[in-house]
Amino acid sequence: MSEPLASWSEFNVAMVGATAALAGLLIVAMSVNIAEIMKSVTLPPRAASSIAALVLAITASAFGLIPGQPVAAYGIEVLVATLLAGLFQVHAIRVVMREDFVSPLDRVLKSIAGVLPVAAFLTGAVLVIVGAAEAGLIAMAVGSVLSIVAALLMAWVVLVEVLR
């Protein structure tokens, strides 16, 4: 593990465990009401984007624990994972933006929570790739925390909306 990544190993170990546990709990919680969730147009993509945000945090943290890995390789791995998670977010945004009964401001607010972690990881990956490893790793740490917050917010919305 390269020196910049080595100093983040404890954070990465903690994030892998925490986000994996949370992702599992969210999947179980959502599966209880999956029939109701699937009746909605917007809830399935939002649920998928919340889980994708957690998987991004898990993936980025796990890649950060690979021994002997060059920092630039880590940046590329996180960039690829971010782009894949971003696809789920883009799909969720597109679905939310087509909602007829929601104001434009509400549409934007519904989309921001999922965009923030992806943007933080994207920024971090690019910074790591171009050689600003410490700044990039900090941005990715912020992305990890934002992924948890965004996933919890989106999951809460999904679970509450099912009961309306």
Question: What is the per-residue pLDDT across 120-158, written as a single tens digit (0 to 9) for each?
Answer: 999 999 999 999 999 999 999 999 999 999 888 877 877
pLDDT in tens, 100-125: 677 777 777 777 888 899 999 999 99
Q: E strand or H helix at 26, and its extent?
A: helix 9-32
Structural domain for 13, as ranges: 3-162
Encode pLDDT of 81-103 as tens digits.
999 999 999 998 888 888 767 77
pTM for the whole structure:
0.88
Cβ pair 78, 142 in contact under 8 A:
no
DSSP character string of 96-154? HHT-SSS-HHHHHHHHHHHHHHHHHHHHHHHHHHTT-HHHHHHHHHHHHHHHHHHHHHH
Residues 86 and 108: beta-carbon distance below 8 Å? no
Instruction: Give the model's pLDDT for residue 100.
Output: 67
The Cα–Cα gap between 125 and 119 comes to 10
Please answer whether residues 43 and 8 qualify as being in contact, where contact means their C-beta atoms are separated by less than 8 angstroms. no
Q: How many domains does the chain have?
A: 1
CA distances to 53, 55, 120, 161 from 146, in Å: 9, 13, 8, 22
pLDDT at 157 (0 to 100):
77
Tell me, what's the pLDDT at 52? 92
